[in-house]
Amino acid sequence: MRALLAELERDFDALESDAPASWGGLVEPLERIGERLSRSWGAVGHLMGVANSDPLREAHAQVQPEVVRFSLRLVQSLPVFRGLTGLRESDDWELLDPDRRRGVEILLRDAKLSGVGLEGAQRERFNRIQIELAELGTQFSNHVLDATKAFSLLLRDPAEVAGLPASWRELAAQSARAAGEEEATAERGPWLATLDSPSYVPVLQHAEWRELRETVYRAQIGRASDGELDNAPLIERILELRREEARLLGFASYAELSLASKMAPDVAAVRALLEELRGVSLAAARSEHEQLEAFARECGQEEPLRHWDVFFWAERLRERRYAYTDEELRPYFPLPRVLEGLFGLAERLFDVRIRAADGQAPVWHPDVRFFRVFDAADSPLAAFYLDPYSRSESKRGGAWMDECQGRSLALVPPGEPASLPVAHLVCNQTPQLGDRPSLMSFDEVMTLFHEFGHGLQHMLTRVDCGLVSGIRNVEWDAVELPSQFMENWCYERDTLGGMAAHWQTGQPLPEELFDKLRSARTFRSGSQMLRQLFYGFTDLALHQDFVAGDGESAFDVERRVSEGTSVLPPLPENRFLCSFGHIFAGGYAAGYYSYKWAEVLSADAFAAFEEAGLDDEPALRAVGRRFRETVLALGGSRPAMEVYEAFRGREPDPAPLLRHSGLA
């Protein structure tokens, strides 16, 4: 990285010394510098998430400030800013195609939001803030990973794992063997419970031993909240620095700064949407909770319903109402078969072909796979890595898509076609056990479809200008549109029928089970929506109104928000914020609302397919091609609303979201 930075510094020195107001003389060299930096540093950042280690952390910490400083130099360069302004005001401006004009406009906007207008002490202070925020974000993420790894609970008594499914016991026995219990078996134990999702979620849903549920729940909400891994001081500092950053740039709050580059017009519009959704979900959530309390009492729980009881009794109630269990579904969702169904859907809707290309690219772990994407004429379009399984020792939790390489003309010789996009798709699902494939829960299937949707927008772009191709510079509150859109297909009959087959017998998912799965789609949807609104309101409150050290802590804010967005108030010792990486170590600061904002778009987009007729294959394919040519192809080359209107023919309607959620 240091060798690359030295080379890029020399290139940028030469560019600044001239900085002509032209595309070829200024923007193309600037994009080449940015591409080379982002590809290399992006690989480092990716490995921090999927192959974390102490030596890598140490090297990252040494180089990160230098990368941030050079990145700031790029966006704060007055010669470059003047050159870009001159280009926009020149006669050549109208000769540029819309993609390039959009790219220049975004460069100018980002320069302003990155302090190009600051001078002297203010600029120095702004830059110090950026370096410290980058370091704090990395520390926050490392603390969460370390705290997750630090917790484990070895269970030896079969009574302690009563109710837990066979798939959990097999995974827990495998974890126990890896921890030194060489004789551990799924039948006899011992079993190792952890905070990785494939272990943690089943415990809350199925463990009959209430004390086990309470133990893992308290461990989960207390991650990274004490000792050397305590993220609480980092939270206060991050919020303080973000507020100061916003003030330096002339914004009243960090939320206003965040929204300056998003689809939502202002904080009031965001709050209006969240409040509208809260109004329809709160009453439903309260009713759902009352039903759950009554059901738990009916089943013999005399104690009041606590946080570690909710998922357990919700799962029992769902099983009673719809007469199936998640474990019944797992054998029908082996990962290889799910991938076949997912790729088949992409072929139906978007006319692409996806083929395994394992061994054609280096990977960071033996479980990682590599695929190539082709068009109908067999011309290459893109490629992607898939890293599907959880690895608590080196991989952070959650699921995400990120770019490995973007579509761009910046790094190819003149006259050559643009570089093809390559994506990273990362999940944390149940791993394969021995010769048995990964048998996925339905939630894990949905997650894979979600991340693949992000990947499609990155990979199917037709934009050659790397500044705005694929997911680049798609407004953050619109970027979840393709991902959440893809989730809907998990409930569509042909799609599910194309991927759900028993891993041993090959028998398709029984029709009765499919009908039950679809019927259960809106089960406790009020509670699920309210939970997301709680996160969104908390994020907004912390970045709009909160002032660190002003008599109220970030945890006080969280509790205050919960009064209007939770039917079961958080425990006093809840420290969920200490592991809320989305807003403290990711890109969702003052933007968590984006999930709901984009869900309005995604539900309305799927409604276009419903209106065409889900059983009308020609009509379905026609709408799919239109979705590909707009939402997936145009990426960040147009404002998100303009792209959406090009697909739908109108602005988005929130009615389909409420209908799909059963809350209309």
pLDDT tens digits, residue range 380-406? 999 999 999 999 889 999 999 999 999
Average pLDDT, the chain: 96
Phi, psi of 322 (to 5 degrees): -110, 0
**What's the Cα-to-Cα distance from 565 to each of 438, 530, 534, 561, rounded to whole Å?**
36, 6, 5, 6
- Tokens standing for 272? 């209006």
DSSP character string of 25-47: IIIHHHHHHHHHHHHHHHHHHHH
Given a cut of 80, is residue 548 above it in pLDDT?
Answer: no
Encoded tokens for 196: 């990785």
Q: What is the mean pLDDT of residues 465-486?
A: 97
Catalytic residue among 160, 170, 288, 451: 451
**451 assigned to active site:** yes
The CA-atom distances, in angstroms, between 327 and each of 109, 340, 390, 509 are 50, 21, 19, 13
| 290: number of Cβ within 10 Å | 12
Based on the number of CB atoms within 10 Å of its own CB, is 345 exposed (0-12), middle (13-18) or buried (19 or more)? buried
Question: How much of the chain, in percent, has pLDDT values that exceed 70?
Answer: 100
Tens digits of per-residue pLDDT, 182-215?
999 999 999 999 999 999 999 999 999 999 999 9
Burial label for 65, CB within 10 Å (0-12, 13-18, 19+), is middle
Nearest in space to 68 (alpha carbons), one of 142, 137, 144, 146: 137
Does residue 323 have a pLDDT over 80?
yes
Domains and CATH numbers, the chain: 2-117 (1.20.1050), 151-218 (no CATH), 330-522 (1.10.1370.40)
By CB neighbour count within 10 A (0-12 exposed, 13-18 middle, 19+ buried), where does 129 fall?
middle
Between CA 479 and CA 466 the distance in angstroms is 17
The length of the chain in residues reads 664
Separation between Cα atoms, residue 384 and residue 357, nearest integer Å: 10
Tens of pLDDT along 123-162? 999 999 999 999 999 999 999 999 999 999 999 999 999 9
Write the DSSP string, 104-160: HHHHHHHHHHTTTT--HHHHHHHHHHHHHHHHHHHHHHHHHHHHHHH--EEE--GGG
For the segment 396-448, what is each residue's pLDDT rounded down to a tens digit? 999 999 999 999 999 899 999 999 999 999 999 999 988 899 999 999 999 99
> Residue 38 pLDDT > 90, yes or no?
yes
Q: What pLDDT is attached to residue 470?
A: 97
The number of helix segments (H) and strand segments (E) in the chain equals 27, 7
Q: Kindly state the greatest CA–CA separation across the chain.
A: 79
Reported as a single tens digit per residue, the pLDDT across 495-533 is 998 899 999 999 999 999 999 999 999 999 999 999 999
Of 533, 448, 518, nearest to 483 by C-alpha is 448
User: 448, 408 in Cβ contact below 8 A?
Assistant: no
Mean pLDDT of 312-325: 95
Question: Beta partners for 402?
Answer: 424
Which candidate, 623, 279, 620, 634, places its Cα nearest to that of 478? 634
* Residue 432 DSSP code: P
Question: Which of 329-343, 380-394, 546-560, 563-577 shows the lowest mean pLDDT across its residues?
Answer: 546-560
**DSSP 8-state secondary structure symbol assigned to residue 94:** G
